[in-house]
Chains A and B, each alone.
Chain A
Amino acid sequence: MVGKIIIAHPSAAERKIIVDILRKAGHQIVAETSDMGHTFRRARTLYCDLVVVDSGLEGGTGIKTATIIEEDQLAAVLFLAASDNDQYAKRFHYLVKPIYDYTLVPAVESALLFWKRQNEMMSRIRQLEDKLETRKMVDKAKALLMKKGEMSENDAHRFIQKEAMRRGATLREVAAEILARGSLVGETPGKESR
């Protein structure tokens, strides 16, 4: 797969080599940087999939740069380590220098692939968490309505659904309001909260 890539490397000559290799493989290079601050500014303002971070980056270490990009999930990281006993490098996708086209391209592509998969999984997890939370709240709201409004479970569910449709709100929003205010039953329709 191809991606939008930022090259963060202190040496202009080395950057050029990396850029040429990746362009030839069909990737789009959206920015080149030589220091930490500039890399963050680019990674946060341009849409990119991967940042190639060299260990010798200026204005703060390459490791710090790579760590923050990963922690804040700005993009995938491919770390270029100076030696194979760099323990910190092992927290990332990494390559030990020198760089060759036949190692760089596969490393970039596998980092991109895993980034894509990770994103898909993360968004799936967020969806599920959201659904779970909604279900919990609707259940609680239903229980409250059943108790206070003496409704059957079906009626309580229907009440929340209708209220949500009437207001153009989500089930969760209506449930949250029911929980916050104790009940909504018996209030004049059309009268919004507050």
Chain B
Amino acid sequence: MMSKEKKIEVIEKVKENGVRFLRLQFTDVTGVLKNVAIPVSQLEKTLDGELMFDGSSIEGFARIEESDMFLIPDPDTFVVFPWRPATGGVARMICDVYTPEPNKAPFIGDPRSNLKRIVKEAHEMGFVMNAGPECEFFLFTVDEQGHPVVATQDEAGYFDLAPVDLGEDARRDMVCTLEDMGFEIEASHHEVAPGQHEIDFKYGPALRVADDIVTFKLVVRTIAQRHGLHATFMAKPIAGINGSGMHTHQSLSSLDGKNLFYDPSAPHGLSDLARWYMGGIMSHARALTAITNPTVNSYKRLVPGYEAPVYVAWSEANRSCLVRVPAKRGASTRIEVRHPDPMCNSYLALSVMLAAGLDGIKNKIEPPAPVDANIYHMSAADRAKLGIPSLPGSLPEALEALSQDEVIKNALGPHIYKKFVAAKVAEFERYNTDVHPWEIAEYLKSF
């Protein structure tokens, strides 16, 4: 299970850093981070893979009768949280979820184990997926009760006017904290919308990046709170201004680390593999959108005019397309998939994108010709002539597309697929039966 050396290494780090509590982390099907906190006295037992928890209370996990599950920590994810020095250290490890005895095995409903399965499939084909996400988020102030206030005008106390810019200061603190935790930050900047920020970290192998995204969100929210702010990864918190995306750069390398997307002799410098991978992403785009853009709110971001993609097309420069191929070639040759948003479960999002790309390679799916015009400005007839489909316009449409795509369903496995769809259908039902402020404003006085 876990090598003895790794185990000793973790125990040493715990002692060295005065760690008193460990948080064992995993995500549920919808991508919400779950925590089991254990005192250090339970460390050895946990490292031996003997820690049980009740899986029946987790969204999309098991039924009551099979509720006892194991948490198997991944020692490579051990990190001490930098922000609690005064009260004794807290560290975390990300875990895989295992089914109970007698046949203790990776649980098929665990998103992280699922990504491992797809990564292994790629490995067997001779590929390693590298991914680099660009997470955007908003910083809002909080009111007297600590609840976030969705206001972006300076008059509304968005950022108090003062010698120091609150948002910049918080972001700098986030970057420092992430660096303390071993992240390599490539860029951090203010985004298009007021109060919107972006922090990009270095690309890496799919599993590590999926872990990093989870950690990243936790750090950003924690540090924001320490600055009297609330960080949200909601895709479209305010109508009429840009939403938050999680553009995901991706490429395949060989097992010895050579970029396989680059071919200097081919058109655009893209290898056959790169084209087919892109072809796979594009042909499964409508189905995998249900996973990469998993909420009612996600589809309010995927509308024309705010740099979010709406149509299934690719280009080298045009940012209205689903896939952009950044100008860099050589070892940096990659494609950028622009529609995911940070509300997604990072493990599942990378699972479905990788599986779609691999399917493109297996079936040599050619992508259509690039579209360099701004598709926002095209008419429906022009788009039909060029054969440019739209992304799903709503959560139900995306779920419908997902239900018809066996490749993406396989990339989730039957358990996750079923639980995911059930959770999302219920979510849409709640949305649909609620009466929203817009309806009150629109109809209450007129009728």
Contact = CB atoms under 8 A, between A and B. Distances in A.
Contacts of B226: 40, 68, 72
Interface string A176-188: 0000000000000
B160 to A, nearest CB: 6
B169 A44 contact: yes
Which of A36, A41, A46, A72 counts the most B-chain CB atoms under 10 A from its CB? A41
Interface in A26-68: 34-42, 44-47, 58-60, 67-68
B166 A45 contact: yes
A71 interface: yes
B86 A70 contact: yes
Interface string B218-230: 0000000011110
B144 A45 contact: no
Contacts of B163: 45-47
A91 interface: yes
Given A44-B169, A47-B163, A38 B87 contact: no
Contacts of A45: 160, 162-166, 169
A41 B229 contact: yes
A11 to B, nearest CB: 13
A38 B84 CA distance: 21
B153 to A, nearest CB: 16
B364 to A, nearest CB: 42
A94 B164 CA distance: 29
A59 B230 CA distance: 12
Q: Place the interface of chain A in its size category.
A: 20 to 34
A40 B167 CA distance: 12
Contacts of A38: 144, 228
Given A36-B228, A39-B228, A44 B146 contact: no
Contacts of A35: 142-146
Given A40-B226, A68-B226, A58 B144 contact: yes
Contacts of B86: 67, 70-71, 91
Given A44-B169, A45-B169, A91-B86, A37 B160 contact: no
B74 to A, nearest CB: 28
B85 A37 contact: no
Interface in A142-187: none
Task: Please report whether the interface of chain A is mostly helix, strand, loop or mixed according to DSSP.
Answer: helix
A44 B144 contact: no
A10 B279 CA distance: 59
A38 B162 CA distance: 13
B335 to A, nearest CB: 29
Contact of B228 (A40, A58, A71): A40
A41 B83 CA distance: 18
Interface in A108-130: none
B283 interface: no
B140 to A, nearest CB: 10
Most-contacted residue by chain A among B143, B169, B226 (CB, 10 A): B226
B232 interface: no
Contacts of B164: 44-45
A67 B87 contact: yes
A37 B143 contact: yes
Nearest to B86: A71
B27 interface: no
A41 B144 contact: no
A40 B162 CA distance: 13
Contacts of A68: 226
A179 to B, nearest CB: 21
Contacts of B144: 34-35, 38, 58-59
Contacts of B165: 45
Given A40-B227, A41-B229, A44-B227, A71 B169 contact: no
A68 B228 CA distance: 11
B141 interface: yes
Interface in B112-169: 141-146, 160, 162-166, 169
B87 A41 contact: no
Given A70-B86, A71-B83, A42 B160 contact: yes
Contact of B227 (A34, A41, A46, A60): A41
Nearest to A59: B146
A37 B226 CA distance: 8
Contacts of A59: 142-146
Contacts of A36: 146, 228
A47 B145 CA distance: 25
B390 to A, nearest CB: 41
Pick the 6 closest A-B CB pairs, nearest first: A40-B228, A59-B146, A45-B162, A37-B228, A37-B142, A41-B228
16 contacts: A34-B144, A35-B143, A36-B228, A37-B146, A37-B228, A40-B228, A41-B160, A44-B164, A44-B228, A45-B162, A46-B162, A47-B163, A58-B144, A59-B142, A59-B144, A72-B173
Given A34-B144, A40-B229, A41-B229, 20 more contacts: A35-B143, A35-B144, A36-B228, A38-B144, A40-B228, A42-B228, A44-B169, A44-B170, A44-B227, A45-B162, A45-B163, A45-B169, A47-B163, A59-B143, A59-B144, A59-B146, A67-B87, A71-B86, A72-B173, A72-B226
Interface of B: 83-87, 141-146, 160, 162-166, 169-170, 173, 226-229
